[in-house]
Structure formats: structure tokens, C-alpha cells
Amino acid sequence: MTVSLAHERALWDAGARLVAGIDEVGRGALAGPVSVGVVVLGPCETWPEGLTDSKLLTAARREALMEPLSTFGEGRAVGHASAGEIDAVGIVAALRLAARRALEEIALPVDAVLLDGTHDWLTPPPADLFSGLGDDAEEWEAPPVTMVVKGDRACASIAAGSVIAKVERDALMAAAHADHPAYGWDGNKGYGAAAHLDALRRLGPSPLHRVSWRLPTREA
């Protein structure tokens, strides 16, 4: 599937001036942050050649796209939520926190969001009896969200967000590998590869593991 600006154009035609494409990386990992890439576009006609879902690109091709993506659109940023924050508030709220950080870094008046997938994790849930107990990430109003199934393969803005998030998170995990080499994060980036699971059974979790998740039990 080739990316296009069809979904973005529909929102521009409906009156939105700035549209943010958003995608996440690291949701299913056992260690490290969850990272959310945001790319904000105003009306335009082109996108970097070869842009598509980051999972369909080699690491070298993702890296090569970073320079053209640095001038694509009106703004771009990657937000992160740490393993500790994931443990504290859960993965959905952590995704929202990471996206909020990226949007606040860009600091542009985004009128609409294109979000990859089928579940709107960006919009905070309605207030309830437990609201206001310290999770200030929920005290935030997200721009209107349009979900796009396989949006990272269909929308240029979402694909761009997926690439910048993947490159930045991979770099963070490669750097973390230097301090925790036994888990093989330079290769598996914190996901549940066999060598990573074996290291967890031998060594137990590191400070960068999501300990609220069902990790392999350390062997006696």
C-alpha cells in the first residue's frame, strides 16, 4: 500500500489547517519506553520518496528518511513514557502521556489528529470518581481524532510519525544496551525475543523493564 495525503486532505477540506499524524512504537515491548511520533502537516502535495510504515523499512532506509522528514510539514517530535510510568498508569495512559509530550514540544495549534489503528487511546476517558488523584496527563483535551486502520501504510503523516518514533526509540534501546548488555537490546529493542526471555529467567528484570507486565520468572 502506497501512502497518500487523502485522509489529510479530507480534513483540510473540512476546515482543519494543521493535521497531526500520530503513531506509537514499543507498545508490546517488555522493556524501555513507549514512544509516540507526531508529524504536523499543513496543506501540501508531496511527501518524502519511499515513505511508508516503519515496520516495512530496513533500519538503513529509516535512517535515510530522517533528513527529508526533518523538513516535512510544520513540526515533528517524539514523546516518550518510561517503563516506570507504564507500570504506574498503564500502557494506554502512558501512550497518551507520550503523545501529549510530543504535541506540547511541537507547540502548534493542531486542529485534527489522524491516529493509526482502531482504538482511540489519545482522547482522555470521561471523568469519574477517581479522577483528579494525581494523573495530570488526563487533565488535557486532545484535538479531534480520526482513526485510520493501517494508517501507517495509508497516511503520509502517520507513516512519518512511525518512522521518527521507531528511529528514536531504537537509538534509546541501543544506548541502554551498553548498561544492560545481557538482554540483547541492541538487537531486540526490548521486545520478547528468545535471548531476552532467557536473560530475564537468569537475571530477573532490570530497572528498565516493565515489571507490572507478565515477565518470565527468575530461575532459582
Residue ranges of the binding site for a divalent metal cation: 23-24, 116
CA distances from 118 to 30, 121, 145, 198, 215 (A): 23, 9, 11, 33, 27
Binding-site residue ranges: 23-24, 116
CB 103 within 8 A of CB 38: yes
d(CA 183, CA 194): 10
Instruction: Please provide the DSSP assignment of 147-171 as one string.
Output: EETTHHHHBHHHHHHHHHHHHHHHH
d(CA 39, CA 158): 7
Residue found under cell 522493556: 31
d(CA 126, CA 138): 9
Per DSSP, helices labelled H in 70-116 are 83-89, 91-106
CA distances from 134 to 89, 126, 137, 138, 210 (A): 10, 16, 9, 9, 21
User: Which string of b and e fits 47-59 if b means at least 16 CB within 10 Å?
Assistant: bbeebbbbeebee
